Amino acid sequence: MNPAQAVLDRVGRRSVQVLGEIGYASMLLFESLYFLVLGWRRGQPVRLRMVFEQMRQVGIDALPIVSLLSLTIGVMLGIQFISALSEFGAESQVIIATAKSITREFGALITAIVVAGRTGSALAARLGSMVVSQEVDALAVSGIEPVRYLVAPALVAMLVMVPMLTVFANLVALTGAGLYASGPLDMSLSAYLATTLSLLEPRDLWEGLSKSVVFALLITLIGTSTGFGVQGGAEGVGRATTRAVVMSISAIVVADMLFSFFLNR
């Protein structure tokens, strides 16, 4: 096989593998939705206790790190916009530029990256360990659907908590921007925040929230599909965890680019 054929062979095999992974993730999504809507008719309802536990892990436990990073991003944007716009004598535009950047882009993006690093990796590691120890097979043998028991609660928790975390991140980041920018703009923090809220439009908030829903879906499906596909024992679990984080963040960035392209044309 010559070098050109070898390259084409690798590309073809990788393409088939990617398509298979997308198909498997889609199957997990449809099965989860089925159990959420009709699982009770088969005696396989999604337990609210498990959903609430996942919500705590996804949302409440992530508040400290989301707060820290959001505050840092807000201050950073305040510094950058003050520095850049002051060169053109446009300091008055700092408030609207910062507000739209945070609500449309950075709030959802930072939240999704944090959740991917925390929850996406945890899902992959947990499911991978269960696959290696044959706990998933034991669930199926005992009559418990693994997707209903392991995937559906995580999906619901992510779809609820990631948008809520995004709203929280927006508020903290806007406060951080105000803490820095209110000084150079010669206005109080309360006046800065009041001006920010008056300048924001519903579209700014909905754009960020719509991104967060898609990000939550991507993180859940990538984490669970990667975990279910673990092979090779403990070493395979480690590889799957790393792969889940890398793929989730890559998918988030690509999806964010597509959102920005189509929503701001």
| pLDDT tens for each residue of the chain, 265 residues long | 677 777 777 877 877 777 887 888 888 888 888 888 887 777 778 888 889 999 998 889 999 999 999 999 999 988 888 888 777 766 678 888 888 999 988 899 999 999 999 888 889 888 888 888 888 888 888 878 888 888 899 999 999 999 999 999 999 999 998 888 877 777 888 888 888 888 888 888 898 899 999 999 999 999 998 888 888 777 888 888 888 899 999 999 999 989 888 877 6
pLDDT at residue 83 in the model: 82
Give Dmax over CA atoms of the chain in angstroms: 71
Question: Has residue 64 been placed in a domain?
Answer: yes
Question: Has residue 4 been placed in a domain?
Answer: no
Distances from the Cα of 150 to the Cα of 124, 130, 161, 237, 253, angstroms = 11, 10, 17, 17, 26
Only one residue has tokens 């989730």, namely: 248
**Interatomic CA distance for residues 233 and 248, integer angstroms:** 22
Distances from the Cα of 248 to the Cα of 8, 111, 179, 199, 255, angstroms = 26, 13, 32, 33, 10
Only one residue has tokens 């950075």, namely: 106
**Interatomic CA distance for residues 239 and 244, integer angstroms:** 9
pTM assigned to the model:
0.89
Question: Has residue 36 been placed in a domain?
Answer: no
Question: Has residue 189 been placed in a domain?
Answer: yes
Check if the beta carbon of residue 256 is closer than 8 Å to that of residue 210: no
Burial of 57 (0-12, 13-18, 19+ CB in 10 A): middle
Domain extent, residue 138, equals 47-263
Only one residue has tokens 């959102």, namely: 259
pLDDT at residue 16 in the model: 78
pLDDT at residue 90 in the model: 67
Kindly state the tokens that stand for 10: 């690798």
Question: Has residue 16 been placed in a domain?
Answer: no
- Reported in sequence order, the residue ranges of 16-164 that DSSP labels E, i.e. its strands, are none
Let me know the angle formed at the C-alpha of 47 by 46 and 52, rounded to the nearest 5 degrees: 115
> What is the number of structural domains in the chain?
1
pLDDT at residue 1 in the model: 63
Question: Has residue 207 been placed in a domain?
Answer: yes
Check if the beta carbon of residue 160 is closer than 8 Å to that of residue 85: no
Question: Has residue 10 been placed in a domain?
Answer: no
Question: Has residue 27 been placed in a domain?
Answer: no
